Structure 1
């Protein structure tokens, strides 16, 4: 599934175009429909002739609502730059085009609307003007389609062009690190809190625990909808609405990012390769508004080399944010002052130290981070796959084995990646991804221990399913985790964790010991808390033989002694022999013998058992 975003000047027919394409009016607010002016983000969807389902984000065109436009346009796969044929290029057309260029969106179609209002000669002039404006931008040479939302002229060709453009568009990246930039928060009677956004980089499933960053509020996914259809799992590249429990709308707002607990960073500062637009230079210590994803935050630009970044040029800057946000290296930020976009660029580093300005070594370090080097190429491949096996990585690089191995060695020396080993195979994971998974496992263990206070560990398989890795790479990764997480049998636990008996548990255990003392192996079926029984069995206080038969450890040892002694004398034992020898009934004797079989003390062969 792909996401398309509109862009263009106010009243150029973006919402009418979306409605003509999909049959859905994206203007959901009453004031929008009355005034015919898009104020907030609107959404629609459709199925293309190829069967591909797409979401469409309709953004406002008015200069006063540019912040809403920026909240919706960042996470798209294809842009529709909408220009009214009767007016041509207007101020917000240019600013929206600049934003698409800064966002490095290179997949687009130009849609000339209201073509029924002008003649052919005028259309040719407008086309020439558009082609001139597109020169040297990321969407240069994009196809221009002429349509009328009123008469439906050109709609079939537009739909066909969109379909063709998306066939060559790479599938959304899935690295099992879901990120949902929240662009709407509301409540629905009977359901509670709902958020919407475009899902990136990983799936979300019903039952997942999600954390809003930077607020750290946590809620559980109760339901998921995409295109008004209920789904169990939402995948990257999907417009979704998520119903959350355990979290209120007062704890959420546009710009927060939902992700797996502990996986997303809180960011107060980032380094950026900043490109200024032609209208003005960007001065040191300039106060600006920063937009990245769906968030809008105030910040201060520290120009790192020189007194300013001159107009229409590129320079290095560090942006100090007034409030924390969540973003990652390689995200793109747009910089604005008041109602004017002045520049933008790609984030290369988050939460860096404060640098001394005009420092040549710092410039080299930042250039290296941004450069297309073999190290960065391989790092990106590892990051996109979350964890990858050595031979597969070498195959993907297309470089020589020596060159790739040299780059991998350098990444290991720089501690940007970590090597994991399992089944004589080497795997690689980025240090950031390993830390994210560690935090997720810690959060899972913490929640599990709250839910099951008497269990020693959380099963490895359950954790693996939450993390979303195959068995071999998961086993390799587990061995690299911090010592705060311990492997214990077939499960994992936090190092400091010990099961906690409540006062009620202690009373129940005392009653069980009393009954065991009185009845011995003739004990009647005991109604005992299942979790408590599991705990007592794990620590060896009792032996659960099944079918309601519970013995103390000393009583079971006595049974073992009696059965093994009998077998040594008589070579074997039958069920009837065991019943008579232990002076019990057939049901208890059978449960005891089956437990001895499970412990590999005896072995059944037909009606008799022998010692192993």
Structure 2
């Protein structure tokens, strides 16, 4: 909320002063007061010159700094006025606690006799009460709040912006330390190993290169990461990048972080978290709306990178908003729909609808004698969460774009073609039977006989009990399979039979032996044990 930038009157600003200012600016602290201390050690002219120079330097800062305050702890010069100003700003900034989930980055952990493990930090959001159930992440340690203190005084609750000490029940001191995060629901907090971010480099910092190792400071955590810029990252030009972390952190959309070089360790920039749980492959979905200040635009951008949809429970974490507010944003978006608790872009559902119809039409062309594609096959082919697929198919049926017949999806009005005459079926079945244990594939049958639709004719042969599909494109006659089963039983009567033994006995290649042995396993004739088969 407010930073005091302290400068020694006798020494003036030092290199660490400007580095601290850079950190404050990257964290987007909104306001500040420059404080020149030890005023009793220098003369008035020097103080005036220092104050003027410092104010000029700070004019360019995004932090809104007030005019410098000059103080002395020895003479008390300026101290009452500074305290009065701080009290005034504190009253003006008295925040209303929003109904958000509690989150507190942990900066210290220690043990206290009679209390147990105590952690300290400054809550970033929500309210915590004595008796609340909490989690420590990463690590998924569950605990209960035994006691609370704020500024050294026992309290029943603490809220965002308060300095807090939390006594925990059921947590070993060695299991928690600086960098952990204390959280409560309803947000579904999740540790993450990658962050999609917007990066700003400081003037004079070298450009960010691919796979460059950096230090990421977020909350109280410091983790090493590899940077993968998506756009050119240069000083004073915001760029997007993926940070692949070497240790997991707890992050939320909109979180600010500081970026430091790996070696030598110096601040090179910072930025903002755009997506704390980025999809593995999102190179095509780095839209400008992902960096927008509008929650609605960011929601649309986050959904656009998730073809599988987005659980509504994750939206609060992604947007950095209270759960109720995040759901309200999604509910007001015209380009977003939901299936159960899954949010999905209407563009995605439109593409899925078109794909479902196209797959049914293609199935009719490839298998004109079948009444339709199996519903289960169609569901798997669409590769989307089950609630979304069910909603898509239900909608297509309601609108009359698909019909469901005995568990199969078809285009309304489609009638299966006749599979063929008995003579045509006989030609195909006889070819398979005459080939013994080395029958041709479906495409080879069509080529040999100069026909199309051999698969449909073979399926009639299956229904008549004359052939069996051992592979998706290769059928064997029942007589040939009986011969094979008898041979396997003979070979395996006393010891496991191997593929090599079957190959040598029948004179077959592995192309036929392996599928036939797998068929015997499915039929309950044999069972695989190591490299061999035994009789069941």
TM-score w.r.t. the length of structure 2 is 0.56
Match of 1:409 in 2: 334
Matched, 1:353 2:315: no
1:276 aligns with 2:201: yes
Distance 1:187 1:405, change over 3 A: closer
Following the alignment from structure 1 to structure 2, what is the Cα–Cα distance between the partners of residues 156 and 114? 15
1:382 deviates by 9.4
Contact 2:97/2:127 (8 A) holds in 1: no
Between structure 1 and structure 2, the one with the greater Rg is: 2
Alignment RMSD:
3.1
| Alpha-carbon distance in structure 1 between the residues aligned to 2:121 and 2:105 | 6
| Alignment partners' CA distance in 1, 2:126 and 2:293 | 25
1:204-283 alignment runs, 5 A limit: 204-260=128-184, 263-280=188-205, 281-283=207-209
Match of 1:386 in 2: 323
**Aligned twin of 1:445:** none
- How big is the shift at 1:165? 2.5
Number of the residue aligned with 1:313 = 237
Cα distance, 1:405 vs. partner?
A: 10
Give the match for residue 457 of structure 2: none
Matched, 1:369 2:295: no
**Where in structure 2 are the equivalents of 1:292-307 lying within 5 Å?**
292-306=218-232
Which residue number in structure 1 is paired with residue 215 of structure 2? 289
Residue 322 of structure 1 corresponds to which residue in structure 2?
Answer: 246
CA distance in 1, matches of 2:319, 2:246: 33
Measure the CA separation in 2 of the matches of 1:275 and 1:415: 39
Residues 213 and 225, structure 2, Cα contact 8 Å, conserved in 1: yes
CA distance in 1, matches of 2:293, 2:160: 26
Q: CA–CA distance in 1 between the matches of 2:242 and 2:64?
A: 30
Cα gap change, 1:197 to 1:405, in 2 (>3 Å)? closer
Equivalent residue, structure 2, for 1:533: none
Are the equivalent residues in 2 in contact too, given 1:329–1:347 (CA < 8 A)? yes
Structure 1 SS opposite 2:33: strand
- Pairwise CA distance, 1:126: 0.9
| Counterpart Cα distance in 2 of 1:86 and 1:408 | 58
Q: How far did residue 311 of structure 1 move?
A: 2.5
Q: Is the 8 A contact 1:174 1:200 kept in 2?
A: no
1:121 Cα shift? 1.2
Output the TM-score relative to the length of structure 1.
Answer: 0.49
| Distance in 2, Cα, partners of 1:101 & 1:112 | 20
Look up the SS of the partner of 1:79 in the other structure.
strand
The Cα shift of 1:415 comes to: 10
Query: Hey, what does 2:59 align to over in structure 1?
Result: 135
Q: Displacement of 1:408 after TM fit? A: 2.8
CA distance in 2, matches of 1:104, 1:232: 31
- What is the total number of aligned residue pairs between the two structures? 325
* Distance change >3 Å, CA 181–CA 343, structure 1 → 2: same
Mapping 1:351-500, distance limit 5 Å? 351-355=277-281, 361-364=284-287, 367-373=288-294, 375-376=296-297, 384-387=321-324, 408-412=333-337
**Shift, 1:327, TM fit:** 1.0
Contact 2:128–2:159 (Cα < 8 Å) also in 1:
yes
Question: C-alpha offsets along residues 151-198 of structure 1, whole Å, 9 cap, x if unaligned?
Answer: 211011101221233343361653330001100000012221000001
Whole-angstrom CA distance in 1 between matches of 2:116 and 2:3: 33
Q: Distance in 2 between matches of 1:136 and 1:249?
A: 45
For residues 169 and 243 of structure 1, what CA distance do their matches in structure 2 show? 28
CA apart distance, 1:219: 1.4
CA distance in 1, matches of 2:321, 2:51: 39
Report 1:336-347 matches (<5 A).
336-337=260-261, 338-347=264-273
The equivalent residue for 1:66 is none
Q: Distance in 2 between matches of 1:81 and 1:254?
A: 25
Q: Following the alignment from structure 2 to structure 1, what is the Cα–Cα distance between the partners of residues 230 and 168? A: 42
Deviation of 1:278 after TM superposition, in Å, equals 1.1
Change (3 A) 1:157 1:230: same
Contact 1:277 1:313 in 2 (8 A): no
- In 1, the alpha carbon distance for the partners of 2:50 and 2:171 equals 51
Question: Measured at CA, do residues 385 and 315 of structure 1 come closer, stay the same or move farther in structure 2, by a change above 3 Å?
Answer: closer
Give, in whole Å, the separation in 2 of the partners of 1:83 and 1:414.
58
What is the deviation of 1:232?
Answer: 1.6
Corresponding residue number in structure 2 for 1:89: 13
Q: Distance in 2 between matches of 1:382 and 1:296?
A: 23
Residues 263 and 355 of structure 1, relative CA distance in 2, 3 Å threshold: closer
| Structure 1 stretches lacking a partner, 5+ long | 1-76, 394-403, 420-479, 481-612
Query: Are 1:185 and 1:252, in contact at CA under 8 Å, matched by a contact in 2?
Result: yes
Shift of 1:231: 1.4
Alpha-carbon distance change, 417 to 110 in structure 1, aligned in 2, over 3 angstroms? farther
Aligned to 2:86: 162
Deviation at 1:385, TM superposition (A): 4.8
C-alpha separation in 2, matches of 1:310 and 1:241: 41
**Shift of residue 259 of structure 1?**
0.9
For 1:106-164, what per-residue CA distance to the aligned partner results, in whole angstroms no more than 9, with x for missing partners? 21111110111111211121122212221321224423111001221101110122123
SS at match of 1:162: helix
| Contact in 2 for aligned 1:213/1:326 (Cα 8 Å) | yes
